[in-house]
Amino acid sequence: MGEKVGISFDFELDEDEKILQETPHICDVEFDKQEDFFQTIVGSKVKGRVCAKPYLTNKRILMWLLLVPFEVLEPKMIWYTLPFENIHYMRPGKAGKVGKKQLKKKGLEMEFATPKVGGVASSIGKRMIERGGVTGWLGGKIGKEKTKVWLYIPDFPVWNMTITKILQEKNLI
């Protein structure tokens, strides 16, 4: 049984997982295509705000998210995990569309990939992966959908350095 983390200590870490860094503040988070993100969680395509309590473990970025729709809907709380293997790149000191206009903050921009489900690109990507070599690498890129997230944490330069060090140790960059 692993250590528990969270506002109410309700997320159980894996046995060999430990917290490396934690931001003491609740901070804003912005997702690329945030309305689509809300639709998958809340059930309808609405605008809203996302706040988070982020944790950095030796295996992943873990965020307790609070989704607050601007329309008359109940807020939702979820846990969101981002494995290091899915991170394509990071850029410190950047802001998304909402961050530039409304929040006037800068944070850590991360682009990451998630597997595509269904569709032509997904099936082509799977076939190319099976062939291996450069074709397999290209198939892996085609078979994944890229998205971005902006973490508006006050200590984003420290997070950037720590995540970069982890990615180097895991030979992911």
Residues 101-158 pLDDT 10s: 877 889 999 998 876 554 444 444 455 445 554 444 444 444 567 889 999 999 999 9
Residues 40-76 pLDDT 10s: 887 888 888 999 999 999 999 999 999 988 887 888 8
Say whether 43 sits in a helix, a strand or coil: coil
DSSP H/E element including 91:
strand 87-94
Q: Where in the chain are the domains? A: 4-167
> 110 has which bridge partners?
90, 149
Angstrom distance (rounded) from CA 161 to CA 17 = 20
What CATH number has the domain spanning 4-167? 2.30.29.30
Angstrom distance (rounded) from CA 111 to CA 32 = 9
Would you state the pLDDT for residue 130? 59
Angstrom distance (rounded) from CA 94 to CA 109 = 6
The dihedral sign for the CA sequence 129, 131, 134, 138? negative
Contact predicate 6/64, CB 8 Å: yes
Would you state the pLDDT for residue 107? 94
Residue whose C-alpha is closest to residue 124's, from 101, 102, 140, 113: 140
Residue whose C-alpha is closest to residue 50's, from 36, 61, 58: 36
Model confidence, pTM = 0.77
| pLDDT beyond 60 at 32 | yes
Would you state the pLDDT for residue 52? 93
Return all residues near 42 (Cβ < 8 A) that are at least 6 apart: 48, 67, 69, 73, 76
Angstrom distance (rounded) from CA 81 to CA 64 = 9
